[in-house]
Amino acid sequence: MRIRVLAFARLRELLGAPEITLELPEGARVVDAWSALAQGCSELDEQRASTRAARNGNLVAFEEPLADGDELAILPPVGGG
Amino acid sequence: MFRIVREAIEPAALESAVRSGDGGAVTFVGIVRSRADDGRPVTGLSYEAFEPMAIREFRIIAAEARERFGDVAIAIVHRIGELRVGEIAVAVMASAVHRGEAFDACRYAIDEVKRRAPIWKEERYADGTADWRANP
One pLDDT digit (tens) per residue for chain B, 136 residues: 999 999 999 999 999 999 999 999 999 999 999 999 899 999 999 999 999 999 999 999 999 999 999 999 999 999 999 999 999 999 999 999 999 999 999 999 999 999 999 999 999 999 999 999 999 9
Q: Do B48 and A77 touch (CB under 8 A)?
A: no
Q: How far apart are CA B76 and CA B99, in angstroms?
A: 18
Residues of A in contact with B89 (CB under 8 A): 81
Residues counted in chain B: 136
pLDDT of residue A42: 87
Comparing CB atoms, the residue among A6, A10, A73 nearest residue B132 is A10
Comparing CB atoms, the residue among A8, A12, A81 nearest residue B30 is A81
| All structural domains of chain B | 2-127 (3.90.1170.40)
Give the strand pairing for B2-5 and B73-79. parallel
Q: Is A48 helix (H, G, I), strand (E, B) or coil?
A: helix
Give how far the C-alpha of residue A66 lies from the chain's centroid of Cα atoms, to the nearest Å: 11
ipTM value: 0.94
CA of A46 to nearest chain B CA: how many angstroms apart? 15
Asked whether residue A40 carries a pLDDT value surpassing 80, the answer given is no
Sign of the four-CA dihedral B116, A60, A50, A14 = negative
Contact A66, A30 (CB under 8 A): yes
What is the H or E stretch that residue B130 is in? strand B130-133
Taking CA–CA distances from B53, the nearest residue in chain A reads: A57
C-beta neighbour count of B34 within 10 angstroms: 12
| B118–A contact, CB cutoff 8 A | yes
Residues of B in contact with A81 (CB under 8 A): 30, 78, 89-90, 110, 113-114, 117, 119, 135
Report chain B's mean pLDDT, rounded to a whole number: 96
